[in-house]
């Protein structure tokens, strides 16, 4: 029985056959177009791309520009998980701001500027409001995501082929991430990979659902482009870990024995790539020394105070040109020390609230998959797992809007299931 038979109006992401005109029936392409236009902003694709200044600025203010969509939620029942998201946002925004007043001698409103990075959490409300208003079936949401997944790799290839070597920056301000850079790993294209990775996970899930090798080839090509052009260790290791987990959960008992036998070979092949193996490096080229000094100084600053460990010490506003260097006499970036940085800023309680957001997203996507085990929902679940797995290398606070969007989709799917449908 297909998901449509159980759940009229939901659909799945496997497209039906085209009619004689070449048009896929059951797809409202105007809705797909609207979703495709706004998704890069909801997915924070331009949030750290200072090279594209207008899009970067738009991405920074878009959480506020899109917030009126949240008022559409008042027309229906209170969304599941809304209380958790609202309490978490208020706590993570206000508590560290008040604490930073005494820690770093800031005014309240100046300190509040340090929490701008948390505004995309509100995408849960605005994107869910958009979905409730437009009422797209899951298939259309998936198409919009996959369009941007394909566009990501097209742009990646075009950039690699067209950009001259002079565009790759080998010197840049510490703490910034230019789109094109050159370091010990070679030429790197720091392409935002939210949609690209979901595309890889989708193709991988389709392979296990259909056993068609073409989907595995598509996933392998995407992974190869990430390894060869993006060259981000956390991304490569995260994809490999999720692929292994998915393979074990989807395989039969006999196949799992084969996977166990092949795992050492896959491990050796992965770490034969020099820059991937450098994740264990402690030399200066890896930046380990800077991160280690930052970690030691952060832990020393927290000291033995239970209050500081529980609630954090806040952080200095980005408006301050010297930043935390004023206090540590050292290049000090909380994102570089990941979970220690999160505890430093928000405390153990704040860290638990941050981790609870992707955890809730995982639970709700898993529940939605119980209703319709769709490859796209599986890909969203895989991305949540991926983000948590690499959070020791790339903190969850960098792009909270990604989880807000996934959580909104899961809640929307569950709401459509509860709503009476006409057969």
Give the per-residue pLDDT at 307: 93
> Exposure pattern of 327-359 as b/e (b: 16+ CB <10 Å)?
eeeeebebebbbebbbbbbbbebbbebbeebbe
Whose CA is closest to 299, among 318, 313, 285?
313
Give the per-residue pLDDT at 284: 59
Distance separating alpha carbons of residues 423 and 278, to the nearest angstrom: 57
Distance separating alpha carbons of residues 124 and 408, to the nearest angstrom: 5
Give the per-residue pLDDT at 281: 64
Distance separating alpha carbons of residues 348 and 368, to the nearest angstrom: 30
Give per-residue pLDDT as tens, 314-347.
887 766 655 666 666 666 677 788 899 999 999 9
Give the per-residue pLDDT at 9: 41
Give the per-residue pLDDT at 50: 83
Spans of the chain below 70 pLDDT: 1-25, 172-176, 280-287, 318-332, 419-423
Give the per-residue pLDDT at 59: 93
Residue 145 near residue 198 (C-beta atoms within 8 A): yes
Distance separating alpha carbons of residues 132 and 66, to the nearest angstrom: 14
Distance separating alpha carbons of residues 255 and 213, to the nearest angstrom: 16
Structure tokens, 282: 């402690």
Give the per-residue pLDDT at 291: 81
Give the per-residue pLDDT at 41: 96
Give the per-residue pLDDT at 22: 38
Give the per-residue pLDDT at 68: 96
Give the per-residue pLDDT at 111: 78
Distance separating alpha carbons of residues 294 and 292, to the nearest angstrom: 5
* Sign of the alpha-carbon torsion through 93, 46, 37, 227: negative
Give the per-residue pLDDT at 3: 39
C-alpha pair distances (Å), 181 with each of 170, 196, 263, 278, 287: 6, 20, 33, 18, 15
Give the per-residue pLDDT at 4: 39
> From the centroid of its chain, how far is CA 234?
12
Give the per-residue pLDDT at 48: 87
Q: For 330, which DSSP code?
A: S
Residue 346 near residue 92 (C-beta atoms within 8 A): yes
Give the per-residue pLDDT at 105: 80
Phi, psi of 48 (to 5 degrees): -125, 15
* Sign of the alpha-carbon torsion through 93, 94, 98, 99: negative
Give the per-residue pLDDT at 285: 60
């Amino acid at each position: 029985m297909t998901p449509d038979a159980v759940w009229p109006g939901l659909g799945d992401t496997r497209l039906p056959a085209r009619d004689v005109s070449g048009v896929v029936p059951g797809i409202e392409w105007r809705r797909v177009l609207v979703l495709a236009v706004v998704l890069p902003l909801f997915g924070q694709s331009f949030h750290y791309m200072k090279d594209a200044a207008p899009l970067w600025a738009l991405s920074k203010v878009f959480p506020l520009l899109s917030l009126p969509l949240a008022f559409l939620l008042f027309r229906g029942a209170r969304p599941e998980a809304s209380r958790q998201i609202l309490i978490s946002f208020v706590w993570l925004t206000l508590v560290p701001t008040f604490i930073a007043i005494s820690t770093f001698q800031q005014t309240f409103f100046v300190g509040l500027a340090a929490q701008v990075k948390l505004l995309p959490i509100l995408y849960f409300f605005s994107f869910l409001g958009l979905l409730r208003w437009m009422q797209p079936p899951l298939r259309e949401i998936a198409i919009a995501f996959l369009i941007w997944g394909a566009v990501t790799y097209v742009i990646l290839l075009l950039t690699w082929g067209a950009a001259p070597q002079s565009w790759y920056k080998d010197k840049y301000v510490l703490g910034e991430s230019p789109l094109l850079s050159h370091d010990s790993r070679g030429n790197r294209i720091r392409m935002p990979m939210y949609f690209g990775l979901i595309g890889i996970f989708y193709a991988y899930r389709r392979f296990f659902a259909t056993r068609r090798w073409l989907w595995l080839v598509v996933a392998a090509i995407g992974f190869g482009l990430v390894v060869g052009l993006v060259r981000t260790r956390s991304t490569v290791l995260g994809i490999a870990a999720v692929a292994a987990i998915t393979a074990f959960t989807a395989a039969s008992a006999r196949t799992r024995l084969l996977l166990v036998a092949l795992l050492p070979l896959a491990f050796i092949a992965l770490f034969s790539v020099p820059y991937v193996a450098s994740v264990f490096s402690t030399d200066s080229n890896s930046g380990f020394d800077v991160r280690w000094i930052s970690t030691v100084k952060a832990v020393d600053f927290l000291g033995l105070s239970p209050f500081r460990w529980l609630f954090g010490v806040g952080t200095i506003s980005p408006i301050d040109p010297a930043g935390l260097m004023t206090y540590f006499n050292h290049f000090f970036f909380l994102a570089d020390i990941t979970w220690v940085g999160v505890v430093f800023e928000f405390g153990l309680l704040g860290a638990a609230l941050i981790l609870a957001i992707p955890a809730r997203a995982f639970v709700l996507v898993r529940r939605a998959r119980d209703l319709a085990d769709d490859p796209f929902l599986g890909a969203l679940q895989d991305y949540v797992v991926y983000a948590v797995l690499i959070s020791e290398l790339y903190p969850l606070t960098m792009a909270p809007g990604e989880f807000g969007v996934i959580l909104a989709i899961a809640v929307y799917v569950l709401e459509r299931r509860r709503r009476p449908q006409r057969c």
